Amino acid sequence: MAGHRRGRINDAVKEELGSILREIKDPRITDNFVTVTAAEVAPDMKTARIFFSSLADDNMAEETRHLSPKNKEILKGLQSAAGFMRRELARRINLRTTPELTFVYDESLRHGARINTILNDIERKKVKNEDDE
Q: What is the CATH number of the domain that holds 69?
A: 3.30.300.20
In-domain check, residue 96: yes
In-domain check, residue 125: no
Instruction: Answer yes or no: are the C-beta atoms of 52 and 35 closer than 8 Å.
Output: yes
In-domain check, residue 112: no
Comparing 53-62, 68-77, 100-109, the range with the smallest average pLDDT is: 53-62
In-domain check, residue 118: no
Residue of 53, 65, 67 lying closest to 113 (CA atoms)? 53
Which residues form the domain of 53?
A: 2-106
In-domain check, residue 41: yes
Judged against a pLDDT cut of 90, whether residue 71 lies above it is answered with no
Give, rounded to a whole angstrom, the gap between the first and last alpha carbons of the chain.
Answer: 59
Burial category of 85 from C-beta neighbours within 10 Å (exposed 0-12, middle 13-18, buried 19 and up): buried
- Listed in sequence order, the residues at least 6 apart from 30 whose beta carbon sits closer than 8 Å to its beta carbon are 24
Domain count, the chain: 1
In-domain check, residue 124: no
* Residue 34 CA: distances (Å) to CA of 20, 73, 85, 121: 12, 12, 14, 29
13-21 average pLDDT score: 94
Global pTM value = 0.77
Query: What Rg value do the Cα atoms of the chain yield, rounded?
Result: 19
Amino acid letter at 66?
H
In-domain check, residue 111: no
